[in-house]
Amino acid sequence: MGLNYYQIKKNILRARKLVIKATNIAGSGHPGGSFSMAEILGCLFYKYLKFDPNNPQWEDRDRLVLSKGHAAPGLFSNMAVAGYFPESELETLRKFGSRLQGHPDLKCPGVEFCGGSLGTGLSYSVGIALAAKINSKDHHVYTIIGDGESDEGQIWEAAMTAAKYKVDNLTAFLDRNFIQQDSYTEQIMPLDEKLEGDDLSEMWKDASRWKTGDKWRSFGWNVIEIDGHRIEQIDAAIAKANATKGIPTMIISRTVKGKSIEHMEDNPQWHGKAPDSDVVPIINHELDSQFMIAPSIIAGDMANLENEVKRCVSGRSDYIHLDVMDGQFVPTKTFDHNKIKELRPLTIIPFDSHLMINEPVKHVRDYIDAGSDIITVHAEVTDESSFGEIHDLLKQNQIGVGFAINPDTELPEWSYKFLPSLDQLIVMSVVPGKSGQKYIEETHVKITRLNSILKENNFSGYIEADGGVNLENIGSIFADGARVFVGGGAIVGQQDVRIAIRDFRNEVLKSRRRILLDKAHELGGTDLVNKWIGLHVVGEKQEQIKKIAQEAGYI
């Protein structure tokens, strides 16, 4: 089965929005810690956990223990998305008589552990994991602990006990976001190495300072260290943990407190603080504006695509874009599923396979088997029947479903019925099959026009811009509504892929900041613009955003 990347990503977005809604209505809560573990919960709920929302006490269910119980909004939001209770019930968070209290409570169906006093969740997890082994049950126990919580001695007592009794049916995640209630963890009780100042990027960038893994290894645990916001890394880590026998596993997930909302990220203020009502629409707009960079490896050395994949990996690309051309649908021929199968072992980064081939319905199974995570086929070579067959096959195999239209092609009306479940729409901004082309300027209007159609038909996927995207135009393409950007010569064609991707991200970030300021000005004029700017207190963000606001004439 595939990674289920897009479905997980969509559900994570829904859950994040519910956290914002719930904490805002409650006037209190913990969005920061809910957002730092969002991808972990997304991968568990929508890929690995065995559960039945209609039968919460199903005996063979897996157990999910949230030891860092203050992040209950993150747990409740995912439970709602998973079907345990209506999403509207999140509006009762922290209210008297509600099933959704400030910390998880067993009165809520599906909650496995009353999380109150920190440090106790791992001990409880060891107990239920050991009980499962004694009773010859094959369910798994997943536990999420916090790094501030790891100051508690009981955490380390539980660590010794789990190793002693070889509870290999226990997988714990350490949400390593470097922030606890009062300040940065490394200024209070370092798990890695003492932090001087408040520049958390020091800890992220310098792996020689990471000591936490050594601590857990010394306690007899299998340790896996990952970026806790990369879905593919979480997925691979869980798979490895489940296959490990004889010892429990700790997945140290390096995360960002408040991830996806700039003013919350790495900001201790948002450990436990609710967003104000006037900024909630802007926050939701920001959540809808997450974006991905997908380098196209055919812009590099076609004789050594293995090295091009490695360059994309070192550059921290979100996807790797694979342009499959058959020499018939387009005049150029590149490679087929056999090459993708060869490249697949090189990385776990999602493969975004763009099939520019005739009769894709006859070949799509080969590209599934080769290891594609997202597969896109063209409108010009499909009809309602063949695309329906492709769509269903991809969904059954947890592969992202993509649909592409050439510059002179409009979205066919027969495709509208698929839009609610479509994951990706590629809008070609050059004529496919020819290299070195400039971005067709009419594509700006086309994407804007498509946005209306997509919204009317409940499209919840991502528009991908493919062809001629560069540093000069990526900001305006983002403003049009594209959220995935294929970079050929502008990324893979550059000497340093990492720098090229970083520059792409920075240009999109500028465009997004301007769009959010536009939203603030639309909703509340200069006062709300100033309030929005004032929320960004970490690093140099505030001055950068203030400059954009001044250029726009908002302040």
C-beta contacts of 109-112 below 8 A and 24+ residues apart: 109/53, 109/56, 109/84, 109/85, 110/51, 110/53, 110/56, 110/79, 110/84, 111/75, 111/79, 112/63, 112/64, 112/65
Q: What would the mean pLDDT of 507-521 be, rounded to a whole number?
A: 98
* Look-up of token digits 């001055």: 543
* Look-up of token digits 């092609």: 409
- The number of beta carbons lying within 10 Å of the beta carbon of residue 518 is 17
HEC string for 406-463: CCCCCCCHHHHHHHHHCCEEEEECCCCCCCCCCCCCHHHHHHHHHHHHHHHCCCCCEE
Closest CA to 199 of 178, 225, 182: 178
% residues pLDDT > 70 (the chain) = 100
What is the C-alpha separation between 429 and 413, in angstroms, rounded?
21
The per-residue pLDDT for range 356-392, each reduced to its tens digit, is 999 999 999 999 999 999 999 999 999 999 999 999 9
- Give, as one character, the DSSP assignment of residue 96: T
What is the C-alpha separation between 382 and 321, in angstroms, rounded?
21
Q: What is the pLDDT of residue 434?
A: 73
Q: What would the mean pLDDT of 159-169 be, rounded to a whole number?
A: 98
How high does pLDDT run on average in the chain? 96
What is the C-alpha separation between 29 and 41, in angstroms, rounded?
18
What is the C-alpha separation between 260 and 265, in angstroms, rounded?
7
| Beta-bridge mates of residue 293 | 485
Q: What is the pLDDT of residue 322?
A: 98
The per-residue pLDDT for range 51-83, each reduced to its tens digit, is 999 999 999 999 999 999 999 999 999 999 999
Q: Comparing 5-267 with 292-495, is the CATH topology the same? A: no
Q: In the structure encoding, which two tokens stand for residue 287, read together?
A: 């959540």
Q: What is the pLDDT of residue 207?
A: 83
* Burial readout 25-56 (b: 16 or more C-beta within 10 A, e: otherwise): bbeebbbbbbbbbbbbbbbbbbbbbebeeeeb
Q: What is the pLDDT of residue 4?
A: 95
What is the C-alpha separation between 57 and 112, in angstroms, rounded?
9
Q: Helix (H, G, I), strand (E, B), or coil: what is residue 435?
A: coil
Q: What is the pLDDT of residue 195?
A: 82
pLDDT interval class at 433 (50, 70, 90)? confident
The per-residue pLDDT for range 184-208, each reduced to its tens digit, is 998 899 999 888 887 887 787 788 8
Non-local (6+) Cβ contacts of 103 within 8 A are 69, 70, 72, 114, 115, 116
pLDDT interval class at 92 (50, 70, 90)? very high
Q: What would the mean pLDDT of 396-400 be, rounded to a whole number?
A: 98
Closest CA to 239 of 264, 214, 222: 222
Q: What would the mean pLDDT of 166-185 be, rounded to a whole number?
A: 94
What is the C-alpha separation between 322 and 344, in angstroms, rounded?
11
Closest CA to 508 of 545, 483, 527: 483
Type of residue at 149: E
Closest CA to 313 of 337, 355, 343: 343
Q: What is the pLDDT of residue 137?
A: 96
% residues pLDDT > 90 (the chain) = 94
Q: What is the pLDDT of residue 117?
A: 84
> Is this prediction's pTM over 0.85?
yes
| Beta-bridge mates of residue 251 | 173, 224
- Asked whether 549 and 529 are in contact (CB, 8 A), the reply is yes
**Which tops the pLDDT comparison, 530 or 186?**
530
Q: What would the mean pLDDT of 337-365 be, rounded to a whole number?
A: 98
pLDDT interval class at 18 (50, 70, 90)? very high
Residue 400 has pLDDT above 90, yes or no: yes
- Asked whether 79 and 110 are in contact (CB, 8 A), the reply is yes
Non-local (6+) Cβ contacts of 151 within 8 A are 180, 188, 189
Q: What is the pLDDT of residue 192?
A: 92
Q: What is the pLDDT of residue 191?
A: 93
Q: Give all strands of the β-sheet with 484-487 in edge-to-edge order.
A: 292-295, 484-487, 462-466, 424-428, 400-405, 374-378, 351-356, 320-325
Q: What would the mean pLDDT of 315-334 be, rounded to a whole number?
A: 97
Question: Which numeric CATH code is attached to 5-267?
Answer: 3.40.50.970
- Asked whether 34 and 113 are in contact (CB, 8 A), the reply is no
The per-residue pLDDT for range 224-279, each reduced to its tens digit, is 999 999 999 999 999 999 999 999 999 999 999 999 999 999 999 999 999 999 99
- Asked whether 479 and 515 are in contact (CB, 8 A), the reply is yes
Q: What is the pLDDT of residue 387?
A: 98
Residue-range domain boundaries for the chain:
5-267, 292-495
What is the C-alpha separation between 158 and 138, in angstroms, rounded?
21
Q: What is the enclosing helix (H) or strand (E) of 203?
A: helix 201-205
Q: What is the pLDDT of residue 22?
A: 98
Non-local (6+) Cβ contacts of 407 within 8 A are 428, 429, 430, 431, 440, 442, 443, 446
What is the C-alpha separation between 293 and 296, in angstroms, rounded?
10
What is the C-alpha separation between 242 and 262, in angstroms, rounded?
34
What is the C-alpha separation between 281 and 285, in angstroms, rounded?
6
Q: What is the pLDDT of residue 443?
A: 98
Question: Which numeric CATH code is attached to 292-495?
Answer: 3.20.20.70
What is the C-alpha separation between 482 and 476, in angstroms, rounded?
9
Q: What is the pLDDT of residue 256?
A: 96
Q: What is the pLDDT of residue 205?
A: 77
Non-local (6+) Cβ contacts of 299 within 8 A are 435, 487, 488, 489, 491, 492, 493
Non-local (6+) Cβ contacts of 117 within 8 A are none
